[in-house]
Amino acid sequence: MTFDEYQKKALTTAMFSGNELLDLAHWALGITGESGEIAEKVKKIIRDSKSVVTNEAKTEIAKEIGDVLWYLAILSDHLGVSFETVAQNNLEKLKNRKAESKISGSGDNR
C-alpha cells in the first residue's frame, strides 16, 4: 500500500464538521492526543515494567502510531497535499540535512 492509497482509505472514515477551523483543530488535537498516548505507553514501560520493553508494549505502541498516521493523512489531505508527497519531501529534507551534516541542531528549515 502506498501512502496515497492509505490516505484515500483513511478519508473514508473521516468526519467533517463543515467548519474548516474546527476540523483543523480536531485533527491537530488528534495528532497530539495520539502522540501523547505513545508517550504514555512508554512512560508505563518505565514506571510499571521496570523499563523492560515487552512485545505486548511494542504492539500497543504500534497501534498508537497508526492512530497518529490516520490523523496526519487526514490533515495532509485537507491541506491539499498528498501523503506520498509529504513522505517524499520529508525524506528529501532529511537526506539534504545529512549531506550537509545538519541532522542534529534546531530550526525547521535547516
- Per CB under 5 A, residues contacting Mg ion are 34, 37, 64, 67
Residue placing its CB nearer to Mg ion in the complex, 39 or 94: 39
Residue placing its CB nearer to Mg ion in the complex, 69 or 97: 69
CA dist., res. 51 & res. 47, Å (int): 7
Q: Give the side-chain half-sphere CA count within 13 A for 66.
A: 8
* SS3 state at 60: helix
* Shortest Å, Cβ 63 to Mg ion: 7
Residue placing its CB nearer to Mg ion in the complex, 23 or 67: 67
Going by C-beta distance under 8 Å and a sequence separation of 6 or more, which residues neighbour residue 13?
Answer: 70
* Shortest Å, Cβ 58 to Mg ion: 15
Q: Which residue is nearest to Mg ion (CB)?
A: 67
Residue placing its CB nearer to Mg ion in the complex, 29 or 81: 29
Chain centre distance of CA 23: 17
* Shortest Å, Cβ 38 to Mg ion: 8
50 — alpha (psi -120 to 50), left (phi > 0) or beta? left
* Shortest Å, Cβ 2 to Mg ion: 23
